Chains A and B, each alone.
Chain A
């Protein structure tokens, strides 16, 4: 700058830097995205949302009139579990064509109902702000995702059930499919639970173990699901570990553990 200049160049007044507003803590709260606010109109939309837009389901479960959505989710779960049950029953045929679907569908619903009160209590103990109806809806979502995935596995299960005579092998395969499907279902429930502002997830984790144990015990309580029997329900009570041990024993001896 020349010192002989009469006036220093004028510097335009600088606007104070714009500080972006602090990201609100609730930016990712359910319903922030307008797409999540769209109602779920039918069964297919419910399945689509559980698979691709779980947050939309979770938001809708918090709204008044969520009963319709819960009903749709339960309906899909029942239909899908009946379909997968028919595939399970196709291994033995005969009575199992209808017995296996009824047992699997009923077993899943009963397991969920048995475990629902404990989920509510554990959630409340964890400081979660959640209603029983919302938890019921989340569990219905879990069942929907689980059973839809089981239907996805159904062609694979059917191919194997037509090829092998081993109850132990089919039992292992169905358990593997059930485990994978349940893992995805529990992930859905876990994400839903994370929006309930619980202080700790310990209670939820304990509940997951309880739920898994109840479901595997249900497979023993309602046996046979795969093989055949004289009666619809078992005459003796047994723990699932003992039952599986017996099945493996029979399979290794090569007697008794086949569909015939």
Chain B
């Protein structure tokens, strides 16, 4: 058994262009399997840590929901990502585009998984949830900020790691950036809304622990942001 088969995470994280292209051509199923494993384990463990602040059941739910957000975003955007790639200069098939996007998320999830112990330490040091805790409580704001910061950092690392592959594949840096930007935009658009639907990830005030909150299918992430900006500007 070679090293890459024994420890698949390391070559996945290195994402060397020649090796990744080889996987895409000859070991596609293996690559998808490794990516799925990284997403479920990495994002799942991070989600469980974040959810554990509220309740063990919330830990289980968030541990399921965070990988679910990633997988639903990848599936929902699979078609448009595959369509945009050749139009922007990346001569990749649908399944190759899908696998590359999945790899981005897998690397991000691996980063999240690696940050889970740090997150757990921070959660452990955070004042526990009590009946007096409000939405404006500093501990809740801290957890929200931590979730956003760590996810943002992992996302940036995941995308940056695949940039050399895209640059080699497209032939020019400009086209590689265009493809990456287009994928980022559509993934951000759908990913934000799926997060919105599957909330809460940490806690919902005055509600029992539920897989999807009471207002899951009400409103949208961007609408709420827009309304908040309007309120701020008008006040």
- Do B79 and A155 have beta carbons less than 8 Å apart? yes
Closest CB in chain A relative to B85 CB, distance in Å: 9
- Do B196 and A163 have beta carbons less than 8 Å apart? yes
Cβ of B218 within 8 Å of any chain A Cβ, yes or no, is yes
The contact of A159 among B76, B222, B223, by CB within 8 Å, is: B76
A151, B82: Cα distance in complex, Å: 12
CB nearest to A53 among chain B residues = B86
A76, B218: Cα distance in complex, Å: 34
Closest CB in chain A relative to B92 CB, distance in Å: 10
**Chain B positions within 8 Å of A151 at CB level:** 79
Number of interface residues of B (CB under 8 A): 26
Cβ of A234 within 8 Å of any chain B Cβ, yes or no, is no
Cβ of B178 within 8 Å of any chain A Cβ, yes or no, is no
Cβ of A148 within 8 Å of any chain B Cβ, yes or no, is yes
Give the segment of B5-13, B118-126, B153-161, B187-195 that binds chain A: B187-195
A169, B193: Cα distance in complex, Å: 13
Number of interface residues of A (CB under 8 A): 22
Cβ of B83 within 8 Å of any chain A Cβ, yes or no, is yes
- Do B220 and A153 have beta carbons less than 8 Å apart? no
Select the residue from A155, A156, A184, A252 with max chain B CB neighbours within 10 A.
A156
- Do A164 and B190 have beta carbons less than 8 Å apart? no
Q: Which B residues are within 8 Å of any A CB, using their own CB?
A: 75-77, 79-80, 82-84, 86-87, 91, 186, 189-190, 193-194, 196-197, 217-220, 222-223, 226, 230
Q: Which A residues are within 8 Å of any B CB, using their own CB?
A: 51-52, 145, 148-149, 151-156, 159-160, 162-166, 169, 184, 187, 252
Beyond A155-B80, A163-B196, 5 extra complex contacts between A and B, CB < 8 Å: A51-B86, A152-B83, A156-B190, A166-B220, A169-B222
